[in-house]
Amino acid sequence: MEIKLVPTLNNMGWMIAQELDFYTEAFIHYALTANKSVLEVGAAYGVAAPRILQQGGRVIVNDLDGRHLETLYQHTPPHLQPNLQLLAGSCVDEIEVQDHSLSAILCGRVFHFFDTETIALCLARFARWLEPNGKIFIVADSIFHGMNEGLLADFLQRKAEGHPNPAKVSLANNPRLAAQANKDEILQAMPEYFNFIDIETMAKLFNQAGFLVEHASYFPAKYYYDVSLWDGREGVGLIGVKV
């Protein structure tokens, strides 16, 4: 079987290994023509970063766990290592980047681990780090992720009631996961709580942080195995422009 996902060392899920989504591709493309530095946040061992480096670009790479970044550095050909800057620590409250010093930020498949308040905090920091007209690229697990099948009606009700985190669910007794032979292994490898992302909520958070939404869609998460799939809208992505 083709290896689609690589486990993280800190039980924060998996890094996509093969199939890239439209938003990550768009970030790579943008990064290669950007005036200022670009940053990949929550990169694990690097998804966009190795591809940017291979095509002659420069990139700053962040992850909560510095061991992932060490691995990325070791796997980077020596002549490209000077183009790679590592930034270990939490994007929520640890790392710091100079104001207006970045042209673009990719944050891929991290926000579904955060509650709404934390996402808002991160977006405000990202906005501060970006130059005017700088771009943000977000990819996350959507409300149509396979493990949210059967829970969508509850989500819609909580959203209609104005719940601050309508899509936050525990995976501990998730019906889809419970049916998996290796459910304990899967649960062990990721945080218990997920906050599946919908476009309206994220667009509102973008606007509050000072971004206009340039592009947003649900898409088939081809980088996942069947346990995560549902109706072809398992992934969600947004591109925002700092106004």
Ligand X SMILES: C[S@@+](CC[C@H](N)C(=O)[O-])C[C@H]1O[C@@H](n2cnc3c(N)ncnc32)[C@H](O)[C@@H]1O
Question: Which of these segments, 41-49, 157-165, 197-205, 210-218, binds ligand X (CB under 6 A)?
Answer: 41-49
Q: Name the pairing type of β-strands 235-242 and 211-219.
A: antiparallel
Distance CA 77, CA 234 (A): 34
- At 96, give phi and psi (nearest 5°): -135, 145
Residues within window 109-128 making contact with ligand X, judged by CB under 6 A: 109-110, 113
The answer to whether residue 108 forms part of the interface with ligand X (CB under 6 A) is: yes
The answer to whether residue 142 forms part of the interface with ligand X (CB under 6 A) is: no
- For the record, the structure tokens of 95 come out as 């790392």
Residue 219 CB contacts under 8 Å (≥ 6 apart), including other chains:
21, 22, 232, 233, 234, 235, 236, 237
Smallest gap from Cβ 44 to ligand X, in A, equals: 4
Contact 124, 209 (CB under 8 A): yes
The answer to whether residue 44 forms part of the interface with ligand X (CB under 6 A) is: yes
The answer to whether residue 91 forms part of the interface with ligand X (CB under 6 A) is: yes
38-60 as b/e: b if 16+ CB within 10 A: bbbbbbbbbbbbbbbbeeebbbb
Question: Which of these segments, 29-37, 40-48, 170-178, 199-207, binds ligand X (CB under 6 A)?
Answer: 40-48
Smallest gap from Cβ 57 to ligand X, in A, equals: 17
The answer to whether residue 10 forms part of the interface with ligand X (CB under 6 A) is: yes
The site for ligand X, by CB under 6 A, has a size of 24
The answer to whether residue 32 forms part of the interface with ligand X (CB under 6 A) is: no
Among 42, 50, 146, 235, binds ligand X (CB under 6 A): 42
Question: Which of these segments, 26-34, 90-98, 147-155, 175-183, binds ligand X (CB under 6 A)?
Answer: 90-98
Smallest gap from Cβ 171 to ligand X, in A, equals: 13
User: Which residues of this protein are in contact with ligand X, per CB under 6 A?
Assistant: 8, 10, 12-16, 41-44, 47, 62-65, 68, 90-92, 108-110, 113
